Amino acid sequence: MKFLIAGRVFRLSALSLVFSCYFGLTASAQAPITPTAPKPTVVGLAPKTALSIIDAFFKKYKDDGTGPAVDYLFGTNKYFTNAAGISQLKVKLDSLRQTVGTYLSKELIAQRSSSPSLYLYSVLVKNEIQPLRFTFIFYKPQSEWVLYRFKYDDQMDSELEEAAKINNKHP
């Protein structure tokens, strides 16, 4: 048998292979097991999950305002290059934010997935005057989650009223 180790070829007969395996096993069975120190972890950024992206978005939304939060969110996907559209979204969302009051907190309404690589998160955005709903769809084409779609609306009340109807008839 030939083995390639560190660019060098070593020959090993079947008998010497059995011999070394036998003594290697008996030697390790007899040797006391000493705990080894844990390997140091590489310090760096943890891989982002879709929920961690949402959490970071809302932290920026609260602390820094609409613009930086939207920039961060759309920055997760290099294919969102329509700067005018993103700028328009920031203006509309900032204007809406003026009418619904100060942002207070968020609550997850629903989480759905069609596959391990495509998730939808519906989030209730609690404000002083009126709630909003933000809908995030994230896609994981390879190893990183990216924003696929973002929507916002204030129609939760009409949906709740619709859901309360019996057999879709008016109460």
Average pLDDT over every residue of 122-132: 96
For the cut 90, the answer to whether the pLDDT of residue 36 exceeds it is no
Owner of token pair 């079947």: 14
pLDDT tier for residue 27 given thresholds of 50, 70 and 90? very low
- 33: amino acid identity, one letter: I
Q: How far apart are the first and last CA of the chain?
A: 83
Tell me the C-alpha distance between 69 and 150, whole Å. Answer: 12
For the cut 80, the answer to whether the pLDDT of residue 101 exceeds it is yes
Average pLDDT over every residue of 4-17: 40
For the cut 70, the answer to whether the pLDDT of residue 77 exceeds it is yes
For the cut 60, the answer to whether the pLDDT of residue 8 exceeds it is no
pLDDT tier for residue 60 given thresholds of 50, 70 and 90? very high
Contact (CB, 8 A) for 125 and 103: yes
Q: What does pLDDT average to over the chain? A: 79
pTM reported for the whole predicted model: 0.69
Structural domain harbouring 104:
50-161
pLDDT tier for residue 134 given thresholds of 50, 70 and 90? very high
For the cut 80, the answer to whether the pLDDT of residue 2 exceeds it is no
Whether 16 is covered by a domain: the verdict is: no
What is the CATH number for 129? Answer: 3.10.450.50
Whether 65 is covered by a domain: the verdict is: yes
Whether 121 is covered by a domain: the verdict is: yes
